Structure 1
Amino acid sequence: MMEEKSIAVLHVCSISPTMGQSGYEIRVIEETHLLKEKGIKVIILCFIRRNQLFSLSRLFKLYHQLRKMSGAIVYIVPTSNFFDLQISPCGDKWISRAIIFISKFHRVKIIHGQALYSTMHILRIRQKLNAKVVFEVHGASPEETEMSGGHPNRIKKLEEWEKEAFRSADHFNFVSYKMRDYFQKKYSLNFINYSIIPCCVHTEKFVMVWNEREQKRHELGLNDKIVIAYLGTLTVWQWPEAMFTLFEQIHKKRKDTFFYLLVPGSDHDKALELIHKHNISDDSYRLEEVPHDKVGAFLGIADIGLLLRKQHPVNYVASPTKFGEYLAAGVPVIVTDEIGDTSAIIDKNKVGIVINVDNEGVSEENLNRLIDFIDKLKIDRNEFAHRCKQTAESELDWNVWGQKLIDAYHNILS
């Protein structure tokens, strides 16, 4: 078998210069960082929108952030056409030239498309490339576009691209078993060359000893509180309306509950609007932005994490990064059913509770189940934390799943 250090892999992606906390960005960075640590030669080709290129200083900041966080060789190319569906079947000239030049310069053996757009740009020029193509399936792109109110013509074109990608790429990375099953059924395919690699975490970054946790809770005045946390953005598929409604319901029953919102600054206005709509008092919540690489130092003060999604194909195939982050921090999770493989992990390891919810909240029966769960959690908080951390280490740690990706690379080349 060839030495891992001899494999050069090009990851093609598109990341905003503002570097938010989207699951896509986190996945790209964590995955490439792990591969670099394992001895793979990793090159990142990051395309950014020209209209986001506000200054050279912003460009250099993104470059240094990607270099520091991934450890990879980084190229950044501005373009206006990365998300253009009217692109020629031969590909966009500047995007194609960048991929071809970097692939040949670094003698790349595998080109790894991060999500559908990246993969399609690669596949359009694959005849000019001496490399295998991996399609990293981050989600159901046509369904995401539909959920966000996209034009029917765009949705149709994305389905054509998606079908072509599944028929043309050499290997597929799915983030959940449900994702694999969904696409097999959707396109009447039987995948052979694939890996299941969930959105994982580096669990060591979320270690918080119990005394440190208690000290931080004391500093924030949370000693006697049940802290319910939410980590992430407030985009439509995160179902913020249901989340705030649920907290309002719980808080009416348990006045000792506290809502801890770790949300990007760009979503703070939306969060405050929902806080006021649901009559959440100033002493019952905390809203702040924490850089993703610092989340582990804050999340562990929580008692419960929220992960609510509507029943929709976008969520059915998902593997939310925040699920592993909650568990790694020792925080059990309240989830809705049909979010990738999360319900199965919770049922198997007893690290949370699965509920039914809508925009109006939960039924009286489900609310009583939640209150009972909170009561048990308060008694056995330490035991819950132990189970959560063990589950994260065994089922959602990059050190476990990263080797599977490296093995897949070897299999592709052999």
Structure 2
Amino acid sequence: MKILYIAYENVFSTGILQAQVITQFEFINRKYNVSYDLISTLKVEESKDPLYIKNRNETFDRVGAFVNIHEFSKTVSKTQSVISFIIDSFKILRSSLYLAKEVDIIHARSYGGGMLAYVLSSILRKPFIFDMRGILPEETVQVGKIKNGSFKYKLLKFCERLLINKASSVFTVSNNFSSYLLSNFSIEKNKIFNISNPTVYDNSVSLNKRTDIVNFLYSGSCQEWHCPKETLLLFNQLRKKYRDKVFLRICSADDEKFIKLADEVGLPKDSFSISRVPFIEMKDVYKEAHIGFCFRRKGLTSLVSCPVKFAEYISSGIYVVSNKGVSDFDVLYRDNPGVGLIYDELSDNMDTRDLELYVDKILSGGVDFKALHIPEFDWDYMSEQVYKQYKKILGADL
């Protein structure tokens, strides 16, 4: 079996795409000998980024035997130019036609990849998967790139409905996301598949962590909806009590924004660090972390989401601090008491008593750090489910 995987974004610049695209390829190829053609896009400024170069070289070494990588230039600006997208898409389509002829299924990540897959599917009569990842129209409004009800918003909603209707299968990342589709679109339940956002469970990795200091972790951008201010304020409350017994590591490309925010909330410079970490090195960061922050601003985009870091945290013995109204967390925290601490609401002055109890337990040596195994967050299990979806689309025996 051969898959054409289309990502209208740079697969090699962020850990999220490395974890959710490349790792998926590795598991499915190892188990079922599936090969891939991967389409990835690249902005000019990204091509000189040392992190991109390191990730790309490392990825090629790992998967080059069964993944053919095809990169195309991308000129879409911060204003989300429709004309730029059309020009870029035409260049990609022209080359992708030859690739798509030789594959069994087109697997498209998000909306840009979805539109390319739809055109290729219409021309070549190949089945395609719309792997949504999120609800792009609402997300684009949330970050201020377009306005609700604008022409671009309505165009995105039109494309969204078209792709959902025409795809052979629609992938979501949470049960809440699947429910949203069933409530708002004319789609059958058996056409929806929740891929979650799995990770690799490595039983060979020791989870022996230090008990003389508690390392907190924030991994992600400084976007307002990630709640970075609430995170730093909460950590600062703990720092005032525990002093040098707690430390916050921030893994992000938004170093200047975090430095400014830390100054605003009065967080001492020696109580945290900020760095960009290549995907392959994140496992070393997780080994050292005890508690990970995973806050999200409440709203529809958070409710249907599934933060990639969640699976990576629980598989590394990290206690996850989050809030209700995010993904399926209300149910996950209820059914898996060892996950961590979930707040009902976020504020600038949150109650730290329950969190302090866990910090005290770590410092007293009373925590047995273990990976919390939830099958739908394990690539070993979920790769089998993805392959079943491929077989189902092709009408083959499972």
Q: TM-score range by the shorter chain?
A: 0.7 to 0.9
Distance 1:60 1:248, change over 3 A: closer
Q: For 1:123 and 1:191, how far apart are their aligned partners in 2?
A: 21
The worse-fitting range, judged by mean Cα deviation, of 81-90 and 23-32 is 81-90
| CA deviation map 1:341-388 (0-9, x unaligned) | 2332222121201103435242xxx333333343455557533x22xx
Q: Residue 29 of structure 1 aligns to which amino acid in structure 2?
A: I
Distance 1:181 1:330, change over 3 A: same
Of 104, 114, 119, the match for 2:114? 119
Of 4, 17, 33, the match for 1:10? 4
Question: Normalization by structure 1: what TM-score?
Answer: 0.84
- Report the equivalent of 1:219: none
Q: For 1:326 and 1:60, how far apart are their aligned partners in 2?
A: 26
Q: Confirm or deny that 1:337 pairs with 2:324.
A: yes
| CA deviation map 1:191-250 (0-9, x unaligned) | 32222111111121882342xx34xxxxxxxx5222222123323332211111111223
Checking the alignment, whether the CA contact within 8 Å between 1:226 and 1:256 is kept in structure 2 is no
Of 136, 140, 146, the match for 1:145? 140
Of 386, 398, 406, the match for 2:379? 398
3-state SS, counterpart of residue 352 of structure 2: helix
- Report the equivalent of 2:234: 246
Percent identical = 20
Q: Residue 36 of structure 1 aligns to which amino acid in structure 2?
A: N
Distance 1:239 1:70, change over 3 A: farther
- Structure 1 residue 262: deviation in Å? 3.7
Q: For 1:53 and 1:227, how far apart are their aligned partners in 2?
A: 31
Q: Confirm or deny that 1:35 pairs with 2:33.
A: no
Checking the alignment, whether the CA contact within 8 Å between 1:115 and 1:137 is kept in structure 2 is yes
Q: For 1:172 and 1:380, how far apart are their aligned partners in 2?
A: 46
| CA deviation map 1:242-265 (0-9, x unaligned) | 11111122333443552322413x
Checking the alignment, whether the CA contact within 8 Å between 2:174 and 2:196 is kept in structure 1 is yes
Distance 1:300 1:25, change over 3 A: closer
- Structure 1 residue 138: deviation in Å? 0.7
- Report the equivalent of 1:367: 352
Q: For 2:87 and 2:223, how far apart are their aligned partners in 1?
A: 34
Q: Confirm or deny that 1:327 pairs with 2:309.
A: no
Checking the alignment, whether the CA contact within 8 Å between 2:13 and 2:52 is kept in structure 1 is no
Of 109, 129, 132, the match for 2:127? 132
Q: Residue 345 of structure 1 aligns to which amino acid in structure 2?
A: L
3-state SS, counterpart of residue 355 of structure 2: helix
3-state SS, counterpart of residue 131 of structure 1: coil
The worse-fitting range, judged by mean Cα deviation, of 152-161 and 197-206 is 197-206
Of 224, 229, 235, the match for 2:223? 235
Checking the alignment, whether the CA contact within 8 Å between 1:16 and 1:52 is kept in structure 2 is no
Equivalence map 1:58-207=2 (5 Å): 64-71=57-64, 72-80=67-75, 84-86=81-83, 92-104=89-101, 107-152=102-147, 153=150, 154-204=152-202, 207=205
Distance 1:190 1:249, change over 3 A: farther
CA-based RMSD of the aligned residues comes to 2.9
Q: For 2:131 and 2:275, how far apart are their aligned partners in 1?
A: 32
- Structure 1 residue 298: deviation in Å? 2.3
Corresponding residue pairs, total: 386
Q: For 1:359 and 1:194, how far apart are their aligned partners in 2?
A: 36
Q: Residue 43 of structure 1 aligns to which amino acid in structure 2?
A: D
Distance 1:191 1:116, change over 3 A: farther
Q: Residue 121 of structure 1 aligns to which amino acid in structure 2?
A: L
Checking the alignment, whether the CA contact within 8 Å between 2:213 and 2:247 is kept in structure 1 is no
Checking the alignment, whether the CA contact within 8 Å between 1:133 and 1:170 is kept in structure 2 is yes
- Structure 1 residue 166: deviation in Å? 0.7
- Structure 1 residue 337: deviation in Å? 0.9
Distance 1:89 1:200, change over 3 A: same
Checking the alignment, whether the CA contact within 8 Å between 1:263 and 1:289 is kept in structure 2 is yes
Checking the alignment, whether the CA contact within 8 Å between 1:34 and 1:398 is kept in structure 2 is yes
Question: Normalization by structure 2: what TM-score?
Answer: 0.87
Q: For 1:248 and 1:409, how far apart are their aligned partners in 2?
A: 48
Distance 1:98 1:303, change over 3 A: same
Distance 1:169 1:380, change over 3 A: farther
Q: Residue 72 of structure 2 aligns to which amino acid in structure 1?
A: V
- Report the equivalent of 1:411: 392
Q: Residue 168 of structure 2 aligns to which amino acid in structure 1?
A: D
Task: Could you tell me which runs of 5 or more consecutive residues in structure 1 were left unpaired when the two chains were aligned.
Answer: 1-6, 215-222
Q: Residue 98 of structure 1 aligns to which amino acid in structure 2?
A: S
- Structure 1 residue 25: deviation in Å? 4.7
Q: For 1:330 and 1:177, how far apart are their aligned partners in 2?
A: 24
Q: Residue 336 of structure 2 aligns to which amino acid in structure 1?
A: N
- Structure 1 residue 397: deviation in Å? 1.1
Q: For 2:190 and 2:86, how far apart are their aligned partners in 1?
A: 27
3-state SS, counterpart of residue 326 of structure 2: coil
Of 354, 358, 368, the match for 2:342? 354
Checking the alignment, whether the CA contact within 8 Å between 1:228 and 1:257 is kept in structure 2 is no
Distance 1:274 1:327, change over 3 A: same
- Structure 1 residue 161: deviation in Å? 1.0
